[in-house]
Amino acid sequence: MTTRTLVVIVSGLLSLGQAAAASAQVRWGHDRVPQSGACFYEDRNFQGRYFCVAPGQDLRQMPNDMRDRISSMRMVGPNEVTVFQDNDMRGRSAHFAGDIPDLRREGWNDRISSIVVSLPGNGGVYGTSGVYRGDRDRYGDRERSRNAWDPRGVPVWGNQGVPREGACFYEDRNFEGRYFCVPRGSAYTSLPGGFNDRISSIRVFGSGVRIYSDRDFHGHSRQIKRDVRDLHGNWGDVISSVQVR
C-alpha cells in the first residue's frame, strides 16, 4: 500500500467520523438527560418516551417510528432548536429558545421531520423560502440572502429587506423607524430586552400573524391578517412573542 493510498483512506475515515458526530443518532427511551442540549417528548408536558440531541447536532431525517410524533420539547441549558416539517431541514420551519410543553399551541404537534439544536448565536441561516441554508461551512452554502432571517433568538432592529412572505414589526407607528422581519412559518418564543413590548405597527406579506402578550405564546393573543398602522390601546408596545404563518 502506497503512502498516498493510506492518506486517502485515513482522510476518508476522518470525514465519516466528523459527519457522524454532526448528525445525531436517536431512539425513543428514558435515557439520562444530558447536561446540555434539547429533549423531545412523545407526549405533552414532557411525558412519555423521549430522546435528546446535543448542541451542534442535527437530525436530518427522523426514523419512521419517530417522525411526526413529537408533542413537547425541553431545553437543557441555554440552547435553541429549529424544527422543520420536511426531511433535510426543508419546508415550513420554526425556531424556539425555551421549553414548549404543548406543541399544539404552536401548530407543530406531531409535524416535525428534522431538527437542528444550536447554542445561542450559532444557529443556521434560513432563507425566506424556509429552506435551511446554514451552517454554511458544513453544508456548503456560502451565499447569504439579503432578506435572510437569522434565527439565533435575537432579532435585530434595522432597515433590512423584507420577505416575500412573512411580516415586519416596526418600533414606531405607521411603519416608521427601525424594524425586524420574520418569514412565514417561523416564530419568536421570547423577544429579548430592547424588543419586548416595543412593537408599534406591523406589516404583513402573504401570511398571518399571531401576537401574544406573554412569552412562549402565552397570555392574551390577537390574530392579524392585514397591515396594522397603529397598535394602540391594549396592544401598543405589549408584544412578547410572535408567530408568523
Q: What local confidence, expressed as pLDDT, does residue 233 receive?
A: 75
Residue limits of CATH 2.60.20.10 in the chain: 22-139, 166-244
pTM for this entry: 0.49
Residues 150-172, mean pLDDT to the nearest whole number: 74
The three-class DSSP label of residue 57 is coil
Q: Whose CA is closest to 236, among 198, 208, 209, 204?
A: 198
C-alpha–C-alpha distance, residues 24 and 56, integer Å = 9
* CATH class, 166-244 region: mainly beta
- CATH code of 22-139, in short, is 2.60.20.10
Check whether 239 has a pLDDT greater than 80.
yes
Check whether 105 has a pLDDT greater than 70.
yes
Q: What local confidence, expressed as pLDDT, does residue 93 receive?
A: 78
Read off the C-alpha cell for 133.
441554508
Residues 66-90, mean pLDDT to the nearest whole number: 86
C-alpha–C-alpha distance, residues 142 and 139, integer Å = 9
**What count of other Cβ atoms lies within 10 Å of the Cβ of residue 179?**
24
